Structure 1
């Protein structure tokens, strides 16, 4: 495993978005290794606790973690932007989400499969938008350096807050734990080398899928600011790129690594297409029902390349 990868010695950081500088170090390390057969094709991990992908209509719950959100902890108005983004995904006929709909799970899908058999349930397309709920949890300040256990507990707290207190109600629920500016969840902005990651935790409410989404604009261009759009229009690019990256990976690998990932590298669909600036799979503005957002492409097994747009299956 690449020693520069954000998930090196941190195996819970599934689908971690490496900072652009970390990505460059990883690519240099891979280039220095003896050439070998490396494929980008994803294969099915067999499910964990019976869960592989979000094989129903996904629902995103945004959790703004800590009292700082209403007391100066959101200098870029990221909370409003993220609510708009997740309201927009799945609307206006956008086909960015189409790439994910080719992946599946269930008893018909063999572990190691690289395509889906007839009759297998696929990742759902959110035609009415993704956003199912918003919670500004101001019960206490977000920790300066939240641990993974604290992030997981906040996801469980959110499930309780939204009334999702059974395994069935959490089967297609995805919780984004968004930290305020100045916070360093799991070492963000210090030694972590990442912009976000996802995982799941077990609870009395069933398995809870969640993402650690730091205040990525604190790291500027390292986490995507102005990656697609110049000037003021691109200040929040990182939130939609990183947020979209983690969403795309949760729905295709909801309980890691029981969903779809690269058997050789461990990377997920968005990892394989991160920070592409030009050419096939380049990040771009994606038009949705309520506007356009900077998004990255994700890996498509059926076309064997990174796709920013794909037919909805």
Structure 2
């Protein structure tokens, strides 16, 4: 199915999700989405259709507002969550094991472009920025180059901005991970994506290479994916990793965490996956606030996992209250 057709189907499906939601936590369903009647999807520009700006003009798929198009990806609307967050900071942490090639390709070619469109269709969200890191916290700097070379983000920063008219290409470049600077040994210490995100958002990296990424008025969204398990070195309990991520925003409800891994040992749509027990327990620490979701890699369909996360992002934006650290 062509990306444009698939994206339209995804956004239409998400309109249905606004009316009903499953339980939060380690099941595959999302928590209760925010109430409101959905507007029609906008006409996208560039990758997503004809229109002005990188994502074009149109209303939000969620909420009551109508999003306006602009070079910054839409100015949002006056929906129910307009008093909440208008900005989103997203970090993607991808396990760079050779067994992850199918998953990384799906993220680059299908999942991220549709996610980017749908994120800006949430009423009230004006923009987002996205950073990519591998699953090794040494070093924990955001990637600015891929395996083929420098990605030359239009932002001029170590992250991508939704205002870029080359956003999909930038993500495709950087998500083809460059790993020559990794200091992990490869003996399971390079499979700790959530720990890598925590390190990236803490000193010294938050004050140096990644400085300026986290905004006080933005919701933090963390997406981690591995076909093994979260294996922190030195060992840390899932609650400790949760607390490190929450400390970045000062409030648990200001963080949405999506973990993608194997619910059990399996041969799935993307090949084999080990049971991600630690990752599932980490998701559980966020689930009490309706901010944690686990998607079973064995099921495939990474796009469905991101759909579930989008309902959590909408609800989190409605409840968002900036905390000044």
Q: What is the TM-score of this pair, normalised by structure 2?
A: 0.36
Identify which of structures 1 and 2 has the higher relative contact order when contacts are C-alpha pairs closer than 8 Å and 6+ apart. 1
Query: Greater helix percent: which structure?
Result: 2
Q: What is the TM-score of this pair, normalised by structure 1?
A: 0.37
Query: Greater strand percent: which structure?
Result: 1
